[in-house]
Structure 1
Amino acid sequence: MAGVYIVSDNITSPLGTTTADNFAQLKNGISGVRLHNNSMSDTSFYASLFGDDTFADNVQHTKFEQLLIASITNALEGTGLEPAGSKTALIISSTKGNISLLETEVHTPELNKRIALHNSAKLVANHFGFITQPIVVSNACISGILGTVTGMRLIESGQYETVIVSGADVISKFILSGFQSFNAISSQPCKPFDADRDGITLGEGAATIILSSNPKYNRGIRVMGGASSNDANHISAPSRTGEELAQAINASLKQAGLSSSDIDLISAHGTATIYNDEMEAKAITLAGLQTTPLNSLKGFYGHTLGAAGLIESIISLQSLKQNIIIPTAGFNQIGVPTPVNVCTELTSQPLKNILKTASGFGGCNGAVIFSKAD
């Protein structure tokens, strides 16, 4: 089976437009979360947002599409890769895409087409000259991780040599009001796994990971395994046992040929909602990882929806490269009944294998493992 190497990556967020910029900000403890008062809400809210004029819609591309294009462009720089090849695929991951157009445009059949994710994927693919049909992965908040796992499987099956996985989401009144209707938005910057947590903080951004089986692109890190599962429990509430996320974790470990003791860091989903953090802690314990160092990056980026799995995976890749663990912003005191080892300060230690997890509405769960290549 072909090895799957990480060729290049990018994060485009309110913290910076390159992976290096973003990681430097995190090492300095800088968060993109700010208090906002704007037309998205009648009340003030915390979120990590771009400036009003950043990536504003233009005639050709929406803000969502511009984010994808900017992130892919940066990830491709210096790689020598040409998208226009029969063995190169594009995967777009998002939960909402252009849904914000419903707020500003007249509802017509043309608008329905413009909002469709496959239409945005084609526009982005055409911009770069892809000749293969783009693939859309939209499965709530595991979309970024599931896109990575899908790319890995397409390469391992021999269908493609290179897969570019890019994800983005933009926060709008439509999205914010939806989470507000659940009473899910925190009244403060979110506090993952903390006893004082009271909900999520939203964020927007984009990220890209380029995968390849070609050994010449071996930059020292591989995707070793990944899996998904579903709670079959509730449309919005997660499993109460964590068994299903644990299944995805264990399946990923099995594919990677690793045991729980081999994992050096968990990049958790860590949304800071009461039930998600409890479920995730139970799943981590069921998988035998309760003492493994763990962090959540939502306090820095907010919840970036379909981009979250990719943004947080890329920070994990930087942690592997630099042997640095980023702390969990907002965490003070453990607040889940099944305790996990939440990182509270910037830490330097040898890292070889990192597990990234995610869960989302509809009961979906995802896990992926990144390792330093031997």
Structure 2
Amino acid sequence: MKNLYLHEDCIISPIGYTTSENLEHLRSGTTGLQKFDKSEFLDTPICAGVLNSEVLAQAFSAIGDSKAYTKLEQMMLLAVHQILIKNPDLNRMETGLIVSTTKGNVHLLEDLGVFKKERLLLSNLGEIIKDFFGFNLKPIVVSNACISGGLALAVAKKMINAGKFNKAVVVGGDMLSKFIVTGFNSFQALSETACKPFSKDRNGINLGEAAAAMLVSNTPKKDSITISLAGDASANDANHISGPSRTGEGLFKSIQNSLKEAGISCEAIKAVATHGTATLYNDEMEAIAIARSGLGATPLHSVKAYYGHTLGASALIESILCKHMMLNNEIYPSLHFNKLGVSKQINVVTAYQNSINLDYVLKTASGFGGCNLAMVFKKERQNG
């Protein structure tokens, strides 16, 4: 199977409306999380990453009528727009469109407002993006819990290798809603303060809202250093509807199979971008799977303390960050980590590092229903 090459990208989040803005905040350790003593989502305090709706609407007004689109749609359309303005010659008649989300416009269950009930359908979200920009091919919607954003890249790779199209725009997004926040709260999984992935005193996740988009293709750019998706694998541990495997079996298998497809051993991996939600069981499971894979000493991080858990956007955002870490030879720190709180020894990065050669980086993700994903990104040097 041929590699998938990662080209232009965009992240829309509380810490920036471009990828470059996001990277600057990651380097400086600036978080997008805020504490809300009382919010529209929950009567008890939460800490979350929330986009200012008015700022978003103002930014969106440059390309469309904000009143005609939901907050989620505005985020995702803005992300795709940045990709397209950088690629004015992109043939939208032949370019694939792959959309990643977990819940889409689920907030409309509470109040449809000016929108029709069809807006609740995930397929409709794909059609809205397709029609807004004039794509021709039927959009593919990927919704597989919290691995969705990364799985969308894997789907793009498989579709391109199958000859369905040569290029694709992959876009992912989710927004906060009462439905989502109260759901996670029912698991007693939310933290009132900024999350602390892999720390002994971690006490839950922060939720976040964001969107991201990336142009991918089957060919690299000439005379450049290019990042490709060289291996990917997904396995379901079938442990529990919401609880991860105690042995990390599904993620372990995903890591092993992604390394196999990339044709490398664990020694080639120079950094790991984890899922790292800061819940008691996810972090423990991930640490076990990483240690079982021979990666316990490999530098790793989680960026959830910058964004919160952005659900269907998270693994796509984190894949974009992997790309830029590799291009810039840098690793962004895990915020708020203090003392290791998992049973296996892992190497959590706590300070910004640069001048590090990252030829291969592993990205992991896990989600409800026992789903797990691992992706191996490779740095390739292209000649003319």
After TM superposition, the score normalised by the length of structure 1 is: 0.95
> Which one is further off, 249-258 or 38-47?
38-47
Is 1:69 the counterpart of 2:77 in the alignment?
yes
Which residue is equivalent to 1:47?
48
**1:285 CA drift (Å):** 1.1
Give, in whole Å, the separation in 1 of the partners of 2:203 and 2:23: 27
**1:79 CA drift (Å):** 2.6
CA deviation vs aligned residue, 1:334-360 (integer Å, no higher than 9, x gap): 000112111111112111111110000
Contact 2:287/2:346 (8 A) holds in 1: yes
Which residue is equivalent to 2:60?
none
2:159 to 154, 159, 162: 154
**1:219 CA drift (Å):** 5.2
Report % sequence identity: 45
CA deviation vs aligned residue, 1:48-98 (integer Å, no higher than 9, x gap): 111142445944321111111100111223234425223x10000000110
1:289 to 292, 295, 302: 295
- Secondary structure of the 2:361 match is strand
CA deviation vs aligned residue, 1:81-128 (integer Å, no higher than 9, x gap): 425223x1000000011000112238x9x51x2200100100101111
Which residue is equivalent to 2:61?
none
Structure 1: tracts of 5 or more residues without a match: none
Which residue is equivalent to 1:240?
246
- Mark the CA change 1:3 to 1:359 in structure 2 (over 3 Å): closer, same or farther: closer
- Mark the CA change 1:52 to 1:72 in structure 2 (over 3 Å): closer, same or farther: closer
Which residue is equivalent to 1:192?
197
Which residue is equivalent to 1:92?
99
Which residue is equivalent to 2:361?
354
Give, in whole Å, the separation in 2 of the partners of 1:81 and 1:315: 26
**1:143 CA drift (Å):** 0.3
Partner AA of 1:150 in structure 2: V
Partner AA of 1:104 in structure 2: D
Partner AA of 2:103 in structure 1: K
Give, in whole Å, the separation in 1 of the partners of 2:220 and 2:290: 33
Give, in whole Å, the separation in 1 of the partners of 2:70 and 2:40: 19
- Mark the CA change 1:28 to 1:215 in structure 2 (over 3 Å): closer, same or farther: closer
**1:316 CA drift (Å):** 1.1
**1:140 CA drift (Å):** 0.4
Partner AA of 1:188 in structure 2: T
- Mark the CA change 1:169 to 1:118 in structure 2 (over 3 Å): closer, same or farther: same
Give, in whole Å, the separation in 1 of the partners of 2:186 and 2:294: 36
CA RMSD of aligned residues (A): 1.7
Contact 1:7/1:79 (8 A) holds in 2: no
Give, in whole Å, the separation in 2 of the partners of 1:12 and 1:362: 28
Is 1:127 the counterpart of 2:132 in the alignment?
yes
Is 1:340 the counterpart of 2:346 in the alignment?
yes
1:316 to 309, 313, 322: 322
Contact 1:267/1:296 (8 A) holds in 2: yes
Which residue is equivalent to 1:31?
31
Give, in whole Å, the separation in 1 of the partners of 2:310 and 2:179: 15
- Secondary structure of the 2:374 match is strand
Give, in whole Å, the separation in 2 of the partners of 1:199 and 1:90: 34
> Which one is further off, 157-166 or 53-62?
53-62
- The within-5 A match list for 1:82-121 is 82-86=90-94, 88-105=95-112, 110-111=116-117, 113-121=118-126
Give, in whole Å, the separation in 2 of the partners of 1:81 and 1:241: 48
After TM superposition, the score normalised by the length of structure 2 is: 0.93
CA deviation vs aligned residue, 1:268-317 (integer Å, no higher than 9, x gap): 00000000000000111111111110000000010000000011111111
Which residue is equivalent to 1:225?
231
Which residue is equivalent to 1:256?
262
Contact 2:208/2:308 (8 A) holds in 1: yes
Which residue is equivalent to 2:310?
304
Give, in whole Å, the separation in 1 of the partners of 2:375 and 2:320: 12
Contact 1:71/1:208 (8 A) holds in 2: yes
Partner AA of 1:181 in structure 2: S
Give, in whole Å, the separation in 2 of the partners of 1:324 and 1:291: 17
Give, in whole Å, the separation in 2 of the partners of 1:163 and 1:196: 42
